[in-house]
Amino acid sequence: MEQAADTETIVVTAPRLPEAPGEAAYASLPIDPDAIEQAVRLDRALAVAPAANLFRRNDSGAANPTVQGLSLRAIGPSGAGRALVTLDGAPQHDPFGGWVIWGGLPPELIARAHVIRGAGVGPYGAGALTGAIDLTERTAPGFSLRAERGARDYTRFGGVGVAGDDAFSALLAATVEHDDGWIPTHEGRGAADAPLWRDAVSGAARVQTMRGDVLISARLSGYAEERGSGLVGANSTADGAASSLTLVRQPRGDAPGWRVQGWARQSDMSNSFVSVSQDRSATSPASEQYATPAFGWGANAALRWSSAEIGLDVRASDGETRELFLYSGGAFARSRIAGGETLSAGAYAEGWRRFGDTLLSGGVRLDWWSASDGRRLERNLLTGAPTLDVTPEDRSAWAPTARMGVRRDFGGYFVRGAAYAGFRPPTLNELHRPFRVGNDVTEANPELDPERLYGADAAIGRDGDELSWSLGIFAVQLADPITNVTLGMGPGVFPPGVSVPAGGAYRRRLNAGAIDAVGVEADAHGAWNERLSWRAALSYTDAEVDGENVAPQLTGLRPAQAPAWSATAGVMWRAWAGGAVSADARYESARFDDDLNTRRLGDALTLDLRFEQDVTERAALFIALDNALDAEIATGATADGVTLYGAPRAVRAGVRLASR
């Protein structure tokens, strides 16, 4: 629940059940509301949690939509993401690719964000392989508006307003953003290189009403964005819309609570891929993914007692990629349509019980997954004759999972431990869509199996008003990880007739054995006094691939894009009435861009600074310096030795209006 105080107190209930008491037995990290409120994009706020990363070091302002999936604990990041993201219970993942378009979740909308680490069973289920991001939308009456402008002609307007009372309320939100971007190459830059520019809009509307003791909430949202991919002629677009209808009755005393929710999501995406000359003086078209229409829908229901919950959910996706490729003589010679359908359904039961200062929690879940109606059809555009027509066999799998946890509180301190198993089914993108980045080509694989994770963790800590901290360890095995495995180098032609140019790598998505990982994670936050607050967090992950007989060349190597160390820290100094100065730092050790560990990306340290001053009761001015040290942040490396870099130092300034 949230409260907004003016002349009277109004209580508005969120369209969700409260957090189950049993969740306290599992590893979690709440995100500071100030970090959400000040963030340009939500994924940057979530990065306060170490090892909570998109696939690459770029945030969603520069990352292609296909790599905006979020993973936790650096066990093995994935473009689709290995963590489940929900907003008031509804999954936020693209129905075709599984990634999250973060531009469709502006921070102004979010009242609360909770990072849950470890495979999620219970209400999370399929997709919560390394954990879940539990988001709660604003419900408190009031408004928040922000306008800012900065370097690279960066411009952003965003706002959200909620009006109503405990009987009826409505929410409206919108954002508009433009950025001229930066050129991601430094060494050897040529005429082929172009900025990572971006234009984006998003909007959301929600109405809620009480009917007796039942809350009915209907929500509609949409987004659209265009962006440059860093090379001349390489651009992308993404757009989509989502809707949901939720009915909730909160548990009261001995009366159980329940939730029923249905949702639908539509998306489309385009990508123009190019090949690059060896001297980076020019590009030429390589393929044109001109449409990726997809539709997803789902439903979930839960019944909550004082010490248990049972529930079920279903998620379905249908989509395809439509492409032109094999550019020759000034025109594309081939076309491709590839796609299919996926369905997952599951049921779960969880229970918890407290014995004095000891909390016990546990649950079991059974899911069924299928991939069906797959087809890949390629044609000669000149004659119309098929050059490849493949109809893969339908696939299905049962996935039993479980988790259990225990927590003991004593004198403000606690000790907790948990064990769990989870699974993530392959997306339509992984099953059916080949793609190209520069001269590197990656093939799809319709024979992929779901990924499975088995693990345990334990921690000690303290909960307090002035100081809270936690120190934990974890050990997991990720079985059958879906990995882009390098199988050859260009120039050459690889199955099923894929041409890879000189300087490019040929990869195929495979269930590449297993990834074993052990690690340490710690976090702390507190306040030295009323004016000075701080936070710090650390994660270390020792992860190693066992390629088994599928990819023996990967055995003993580290998963791609998985740094061993990551740490974050922040301090806020309210130096005088209405004024605040803050600094936020993030460090990552070196990582590898590729599965063979040949393309090393150095470590990275970034520092962001911000000053804000209230000018009226409801208005504040701010100025922010992003990447204040102008660090060169390596985000990618090509097979021919070209390194790509993240955003350089940039200043932003703006005004923020908010109800108090």
Alpha helices in 54-126 (DSSP H): none
DSSP 8-state code for residue 252? B
**Using one digit for the tens of pLDDT, what is the confidence trace for 333-379?**
999 999 999 999 999 999 999 999 999 999 999 999 999 999 999 99
Backbone angles phi, psi at 300, to 5 degrees: -150, 155
Spatial contact of 365 and 121, defined as CB atoms under 8 Å apart: yes
Rounded Cα gap, residues 347 and 332, in angstroms: 47
Say which residue the tokens 């004016």 belong to.
531
With pLDDT > 90 as the criterion, what percentage of the chain qualifies? 78
Peptide bond into 496 cis (omega under 30): yes
Token code pair at residue 64: 């292609």
Spatial contact of 431 and 444, defined as CB atoms under 8 Å apart: yes
Single out the residue of 197, 202, 199 nearest to residue 240, CA to CA: 202
Token code pair at residue 391: 């109809």
Q: What is the H or E stretch that residue 451 is in? A: strand 451-462
Beta bridge partners of 351: 308, 362
Backbone angles phi, psi at 529, to 5 degrees: -160, -170
Q: Note the pLDDT of residue 120.
A: 76
Token code pair at residue 466: 């002035």
**Using one digit for the tens of pLDDT, what is the confidence trace for 602-617?**
999 999 999 999 999 9
Backbone angles phi, psi at 432, to 5 degrees: -130, -20
Rounded Cα gap, residues 609 and 628, in angstroms: 7
What integer is the mean pLDDT of 213-232?
96
Instruction: Measure Cα distances from 256 to 1, 6, 312, 353, 633 in Å.
Output: 18, 32, 17, 16, 51
Q: Note the pLDDT of residue 6.
A: 41
DSSP 8-state code for residue 71? E
Average pLDDT for the chain = 92
Pairing of strands 308-328, 283-291: antiparallel
**Using one digit for the tens of pLDDT, what is the confidence trace for 234-283?**
999 999 999 999 999 999 888 999 999 999 999 999 999 998 888 899 99
153 CB neighbour count, 10 Å cutoff: 11
Q: Note the pLDDT of residue 328.
A: 87
> In this structure, which amino acid lies at residue 385?
A
- pLDDT at 1 > cutoff 60: no
Rounded Cα gap, residues 47 and 60, in angstroms: 12
Cβ density class 318-335: b for 16+ within 10 Å, e for less: bbbbbbbbbbeeeebebb
Rounded Cα gap, residues 66 and 482, in angstroms: 15
Say which residue the tokens 């209405």 belong to.
578
Rounded Cα gap, residues 263 and 16, in angstroms: 14
Q: What is the H or E stretch that residue 42 is in? A: helix 42-46
- pLDDT at 77 > cutoff 50: yes
Min mean pLDDT across 57-61, 503-507, 526-530 is at 503-507
Q: Note the pLDDT of residue 498.
A: 76
- pLDDT at 600 > cutoff 70: yes
Domain of residue 134: give its range. Answer: 2-658
Spatial contact of 519 and 559, defined as CB atoms under 8 Å apart: no
Rounded Cα gap, residues 52 and 83, in angstroms: 9
| Euclidean distance between the first and the last CA atom of the chain, given in angstroms as a whole number | 17
Q: Note the pLDDT of residue 2.
A: 41
Min mean pLDDT across 3-7, 111-115, 312-316, 458-462 is at 3-7
**Using one digit for the tens of pLDDT, what is the confidence trace for 142-179?**
999 999 999 999 999 999 999 998 899 999 999 999 99
- pLDDT at 227 > cutoff 90: yes
What integer is the mean pLDDT of 194-201?
97
Contacts (Cβ under 8 Å, ≥6 apart) of 50: 521, 523, 537, 538, 539, 566, 567, 568
DSSP 8-state code for residue 554? G
Single out the residue of 106, 80, 69 nearest to residue 225, CA to CA: 106
Single out the residue of 213, 223, 266, 194 nearest to residue 106, CA to CA: 223
Spatial contact of 350 and 121, defined as CB atoms under 8 Å apart: yes
Q: Note the pLDDT of residue 4.
A: 40
Q: What is the CATH number of the domain that holds 416?
A: 2.40.170.20
**Using one digit for the tens of pLDDT, what is the confidence trace for 101-129?**
999 999 999 999 999 999 876 788 888 99
Q: What is the H or E stretch that residue 653 is in? A: strand 650-658
What integer is the mean pLDDT of 640-644?
87
**Using one digit for the tens of pLDDT, what is the confidence trace for 426-471?**
999 999 998 877 678 889 999 999 999 999 999 999 998 889 999 9
What long-range pairs does 149-153 form, CB within 8 A, spacing at least 24?
Answer: 149/652, 149/653, 149/654, 150/624, 150/650, 150/651, 150/652, 150/653, 151/650, 151/651, 151/652, 152/179, 152/180, 152/181, 152/182, 152/650, 153/178, 153/179, 153/180
What integer is the mean pLDDT of 317-330?
93
Beta bridge partners of 288: 272, 324
More confident position, 66 or 426: 426
Q: Note the pLDDT of residue 3.
A: 40
166 CB neighbour count, 10 Å cutoff: 13
Report how many domains make up the chain.
1
Q: Note the pLDDT of residue 438.
A: 67
- pLDDT at 323 > cutoff 50: yes
For 117-181, the DSSP string reads: ES---TTT-TT-SSEEEEEEE--SSEEEEEEEEEGGGEEEEEEEEEEE-SSEEEEEEEEEEEE--
Q: Note the pLDDT of residue 137.
A: 96
Band (577; pLDDT cuts 50, 70, 90): confident
Band (496; pLDDT cuts 50, 70, 90): confident
